[in-house]
Structure 1
Amino acid sequence: MISIIISSYNQTYYDRLKKNIEETIGVPYEMIQIWNPGLYSINEAYEMGLQKANFENLLFIHEDLEFLSRNWGVELMKSFKQEDVGLVGLAGSNYVPYAPMEWYVTDEHNFINIVHGLGTEKINLKNFDKDFQEILTLDGVFIFGKKEIFLEVGFDKSLKGFHAYDLSISLRTAMKYKNYVINTINIHHFSKGKPDLEWYNSTLYVRENFNWKFQHSKNNQVEKQVFKRFSEFTVKY
Structure 2
Amino acid sequence: MISLIICTRDAVALAAVSQNVAATIGIQYEVIAIDNKNGQYSICEAYNLGASKAKFGFLCFMHEDIRFHTQGWGAIVADLLADHTIGVLGITGGMWQVAAPAAWWGCGLSLCRENVLNVFEDGHTEMELHNPEGATLTDVAVVDGMWMCSRKSVWQEHPFDDRTFTDFHFYDVDYCTEIFSHNLRVCVTFCVLLEHHSRGSVNEMWVHNALKYQQKRRGQLPFGTVELAAAEAHHLELKALQEFAGRLIQGQFPRWLAAGYLGRCFMLGPFNRDNLWLAKQWLRKG
Identical residues among aligned pairs (%): 25
Question: Which residue does 2:250 correspond to in 1?
Answer: 236
Corresponding position of 1:189: 196
Equivalent-residue separation in structure 2 for 1:230 and 1:209 (angstroms): 17
Greater relative contact order (Cα < 8 A, sep 6+): 1
Letter in 1 for 2:172: D
**1:164 Cα offset (Å):** 0.7
Deviations 1:63-87 (A, max 9, x none): 0111011111111122136571110
Match of 2:74 in 1: 73
Name 1:172's counterpart in structure 2: 178
The gaps in structure 1 that reach 5 residues or longer are none
1:157 deviates by: 0.9
Report the TM-score, using the length of structure 2 for normalisation: 0.80
Provide the residue aligned with 1:205 in structure 2.
212
Alpha-carbon offset, residue 187 of structure 1: 0.5
Deviation for aligned residue 1:234: 1.7
Tell me how many residue pairs correspond in the alignment.
237
Separation in structure 1 between the aligned mates of residue 250 and residue 186 of structure 2, nearest angstrom: 32
Query: Which letter maps to 1:29?
Result: Y
Which structure features the higher share of helix residues? 2
Alpha-carbon separation, structure 2, partners of 1:98 and 1:156: 20
Q: Counterparts of 1:138-149 in structure 2 under 5 Å?
A: 138-149=143-154
Q: Which residue of 2 aligns with 1:153?
A: 158
Tell me, yes or no, if structure 1 residue 112 matches structure 2 residue 120: no
Structure-to-structure mapping, 1:98-137, within 5 angstroms:
98-105=99-106, 106-118=108-120, 119-128=122-131, 129-137=134-142
Aligned residue in 1 for 2:284? none
| Distance (Å, rounded) in 2 between the aligned partners of 1:163 and 1:179 | 19
Amino acid at match of 2:237: E
Counterpart CA distance in 2 for 1:221 and 1:178 is 26
CA RMSD between the two structures: 1.4
Matches of 1:80 and 1:154, distance apart in 2: 17
- Secondary structure of residue in 1 paired with 2:105: coil
Structure 1 residues 232 and 178, CA, compared in 2 at 3 Å: closer, same or farther? same
C-alpha distance in 1 between matches for 2:80 and 2:250: 40
Matched, 1:45 2:42: no
Q: Indicate the residue corresponding to 2:260 in structure 1.
A: none
C-alpha change, 1:120 and 1:9, in structure 2 (3 Å) is closer
Q: Secondary structure at the match of 1:191?
A: coil
Contact 2:58 2:81 in 1 (8 A): no
1:21 counterpart letter in structure 2 = V
Cα distance change of structure 1 residues 28 and 83 upon mapping to structure 2, 3 Å threshold: closer
| Aligned counterparts of 1:206 and 1:221: Cα–Cα separation in 2 | 21
Which consecutive unaligned segments of at least 5 residues does structure 2 have? 252-286
Matched residue, 1:226:
240
| TM-score, length-scaled by structure 1 | 0.96
Corresponding letter in the other structure for 1:16? A
SS of the equivalent of 1:184 reads coil
State the shift of 1:235 in Å.
1.2
